């Protein structure tokens, strides 16, 4: 495929970062784009497994602590998220409950929650509301004066919110060496790996 056809298909905005990294070498820019997509496919398997594993571990923990319907009960009057500082989490749960309506089951509600909801259960307000017990899902955790804060920041860095789009968690930003593709140096350029349907801002 010729570069202009490739650019029209992918969009100039998306391919421009690769073109800059490869010093306007269109052939290498197309190759780098394809390799980045290939790498993103491999990473999404790991990311998806991590998301499901973390979500299920949190759900099992709070089910043992608060019962099968802990998510629905959390936003009921007097529930753990029925407080000002957890209003964001309450909105997310109530929206999902409204979407499910009469078809509610706890497992369906769990599936409705995006990963952003689960990671914010490690934020200070939600962590305190959950009786400060959530770190028990990490039996081999390291010890620190602020374990909750460290884990929360680690998850945020792994999935930065400003990279999210279309309901997908983003990949960690990966530094690819432009010099590998472009003779004459050029230094390292940061390229954020994302699924094909997402465009660069």
- Per-residue pLDDT, 60: 95
How many residues in the chain?
A: 201
- Per-residue pLDDT, 148: 62
Residues 15, 100: Cα–Cα separation, whole Å: 39
Block means of pLDDT (10 residues each) for the chain, length 201 residues?
80 84 87 85 80 92 95 95 92 94 95 88 89 83 59 60 38 39 40 35 26
Read off the pTM.
0.63
**End-to-end CA gap in the chain:** 25
DSSP string, the chain: --HHHHHHHH-HHHHHHHHHHTTT-HHHHHHHHHHHHHHHHHHHHHHHHHHHHHHHHHHHHHHHHH-TTHHHHHTSTT-TT-SGGGHHHHHHHHHHHHHHGGG--HHHHHHHS-HHHHHGGGSHHHHHHTTT-GGGG-TTPPP-TTHHHHHHHHHHHHS-GGG-BTTBPPPPEEEEEGGGTSTT---EEEEE---TTPPP-
Report whether 122 contacts 151 (CB < 8 A).
yes
- Per-residue pLDDT, 156: 58
Among 73, 69, 75, smallest CA distance to 87 is for 75
Residues 117, 5: Cα–Cα separation, whole Å: 40
């Amino acid at each position: 495929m010729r570069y202009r056809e490739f650019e029209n298909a992918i969009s100039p905005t998306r391919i421009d970062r690769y073109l800059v990294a490869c010093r306007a070498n269109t052939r290498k820019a197309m190759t780098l784009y394809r390799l980045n997509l290939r790498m993103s496919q491999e990473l999404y398997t790991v990311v998806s497994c991590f998301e499901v594993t973390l979500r299920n571990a949190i759900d099992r923990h709070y089910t043992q602590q608060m019962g099968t319907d802990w998510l629905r009960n959390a936003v009921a009057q007097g529930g753990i998220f029925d407080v000002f500082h957890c209003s964001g989490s309450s909105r997310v749960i109530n929206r999902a409950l409204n979407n499910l309506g009469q078809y509610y089951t706890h497992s369906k509600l769990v599936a409705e929650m995006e990963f952003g909801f689960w990671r914010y259960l490690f934020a200070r307000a939600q962590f305190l509301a959950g009786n400060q017990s959530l770190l028990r899902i990490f039996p081999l955790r390291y010890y620190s004066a602020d374990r909750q804060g460290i884990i929360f920041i680690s998850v945020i860095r792994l999935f930065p919110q400003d990279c999210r789009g279309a309901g997908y968690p983003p990949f960690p930003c990966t530094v690819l060496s432009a010099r590998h593709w472009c003779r004459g140096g050029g230094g390292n350029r940061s390229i954020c790996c994302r699924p094909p349907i997402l465009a660069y801002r």
